[in-house]
Structure 1
Amino acid sequence: MDDDNRICVGAIGGAFGVHGEVRLKSFTADPEAIADYAPLASEDGARSFEVQIVRAINQGFAARLSGVRSKEDADALKGERLYVPRERLPQLPDDEFYHADLIGLEVVDTGGARLGRVRAVQNHGASDLLEVQAPGTSSTVLLPFTREAVPTVDLASGRIVADPPHGLFDD
């Protein structure tokens, strides 16, 4: 499966219990919907899993994955990220984006000056933050992903136009 055609929808946090259940973190908008996109593929594409959500647990779900029968099988998958083909996911409204589509985009200010590239999208509870890596440095800035701070996302041209809060990026 082409990397550009896959979206990471979850990750395995290790075993949950002793009967082969896993701790499953969902990255989908409706967390329980992760099972609806199955089969989910491993990062290298070598394995594929059907998913059955057993119950909600702290920071995710206890889930059964096809082919995972023991605690040892489940522990061996700890840290594995799970992917689906993009076409299996729903189309988004114009003002919503998959995180995978934002990562790598160039960020410029409203005057066209380059601020950096999106390295990651983070969410610590309130709203999404774009982690922007400044040009020629390893330092990053967390830019609120709000309509005020990010008025334009142009996927076709690979650019984000930002109007960051004063002082966020050193002038």
Structure 2
Amino acid sequence: MATHDSGSGDAGRAKASFGAFARKPGKPVEPVEPVCANKKAAHWPLQGESAESWPADAIEVGVIVDAYGLKGWVKVAAHAGAGRGGDALLGAPRWWLLKDHERRSAGAQGAKTHGDSVVAALDGVADRDAALSLRGSRVYLCRSDFPALDAGEFYWVDLLGLEVVSEAGVALGKVASMIDNGAHSVLRIEYPVSGKDGKPAMGERLIPFVGVYVKTVDQAAKRITVDWEADY
């Protein structure tokens, strides 16, 4: 299963910060419960944060676009849909918010899907006006709070930067980004070349993230092995 980039005009291409994942085909897509178990977070009322207190594994997963209702809930346009990485928003105990240069965080007191969006109650956001003041805030979650994936599933953010080699051991480049073509995810690989002017440049390869081509993903070794040749 693949995700889409709903926050960019470059259709189908995800920014490096997105918390989406690609599924290596070979197993059916399981339905995802659209509402979280209303897990209560520790008491983390909305508070200011600094660059120093910002988590090192923070991943951007969406943006607050509006208030929802009258009791302080916010509406989030997620960068990936539920079941495709966006469900991290449904269970993470703490959200990290960045608007302009202001950093804040708040405990998530409940979240659910609502159409194409996610709506949530944040600790310390008690009414509609407070929720409206958060519009435009980019939402980050700790990578460690993402839901665990089954074998053969990978968050896009974990694939970026991995070396790609052929089964014969030929280096093909590094994963620069991921693309969703509607049917599956695609690895966009960059590798150094010489430009027409003789200056260093970057070439590009597109390899479908499907089992017939992707043989192994070794995150510990930071390497993806593919059935692909350099001259394809």
TM-score if structure 1 supplies the norm length?
A: 0.72
Whether 2:29 is the aligned partner of 1:29: answer no
Mean alpha-carbon deviation: is it higher for 89-98 or for 109-118?
Answer: 89-98
How many residues are treated as equivalent by the alignment? Answer: 161
Question: What CA RMSD, in Å, does the superposition of the two structures yield over aligned residues?
Answer: 3.3
Map of 2:16 onto structure 1: none
List per-residue Cα deviations over 1:52-109 (Å, max 9, x = no partner).
Answer: 4365233x324444455142x23341xx1412241x3444333222222211001111
Mean alpha-carbon deviation: is it higher for 93-102 or for 154-163?
Answer: 93-102
Equivalent positions of 1:81-92 (< 5 A) are 81-86=139-144, 88-92=145-149
Distance 2:179 2:202 in 1: 17
Distance 1:55 1:145 in 2: 28
What is the aligned counterpart of 2:162 among 105, 111, 116? 105
- C-alpha change, 1:102 and 1:112, in structure 2 (3 Å) is same
Flag the structure with higher helix content.
Answer: 1
What is the aligned counterpart of 2:227 among 163, 167, 171? 163
- C-alpha change, 1:2 and 1:37, in structure 2 (3 Å) is closer
TM-score if structure 2 supplies the norm length?
A: 0.56
Identity of aligned residues (%): 25
Q: Which has the higher contact order (CA 8 A, sep 6+)?
A: 2
- AA aligned opposite 1:36: G
Distance 1:12 1:107 in 2: 32
- AA aligned opposite 1:160: I
Map of 2:31 onto structure 1: none
Mean alpha-carbon deviation: is it higher for 122-131 or for 112-121?
Answer: 122-131
